[in-house]
Amino acid sequence: MENRTSVKITDEPLSQQDCYNFVQDASCGGIVEFVGTVRNATQNKEVILLDFSAYEPMALKEMQKIANLALDKFDVHKIAIHHAVGPLKIGDIPVIISVSSAHRKAAFEACEYCIDTLKETVPIWKKEHFKDGEVWVNAHP
């Protein structure tokens, strides 16, 4: 059977074109793409960079699970979930999720499901670097 999911973790820059090319299909009427970008501030504090790290083998499994579940739940054709690791500067892209479907509603819903679930379950962490220090996001030591 044709592979309908693409999951990837890389320390190279992510490619929107790669995700687009993977999900694009003649049977589809549209593609929804979520692109995460590194924001320059958190709670009014200037961010210099975000350093992403992953438990890579498990993160890939969890991303694959999300893509498979989304294919089951929504009437979509193909899904790409790509995540970057390593230090990212303001405006860099830590995550891309692309979804293609015959009709747009399913692709919007599946894309939102994928990014929401990724943020809850995939073992990836970011450390925010400020001028005067650094902090693990969401951590409760």
Partner 1 sequence: MKIQLLFFGITTDLVGESSMSYEVPENSSIEALKLKLIAQFASLKNINDFAIAVNESYAKDHQLLLNNDVVAIIPPVSGG
Q: Which positions lie near partner 1, rule CB under 8 A?
A: 36, 52-55, 57-59, 61, 83, 94-95, 115, 118-127, 136-141
Q: Pick the closer one to partner 1 by CB: 20 or 34.
A: 34
To partner 1, the closest distance from the beta carbon of 90 in angstroms equals 16
Nearer to partner 1, 2 or 12 (CB): 12
Residue 32: closest CA among 83, 91, 103, 126: 103
Single-letter amino acid code for the residue at 25:
D
CA 5, 69, 53: angle at the middle one, nearest 5?
A: 70
Closer Cβ to partner 1, 28 or 54, answer by number: 54
What is the C-alpha to C-alpha distance for residues 70 and 60, in angstroms, rounded to an integer? 15
DSSP 45-107: EE--EEEEEE-HHHHHHHHHHHHHHHHHHS--SEEEEEEE-EEEETT--SEEEEEEESSHHHH
Distance CA 60, CA 1 (A): 21
Smallest gap from Cβ 60 to partner 1, in A, equals 9
Nearer to partner 1, 27 or 141 (CB): 141
CB 2 to partner 1: min, Å: 26
Q: What is the smallest separation between the CB atom of 135 and partner 1, expressed in angstroms? A: 9
CB of 25 to partner 1, least distance (A): 25
**CB closer to partner 1, 72 vs 120:** 120
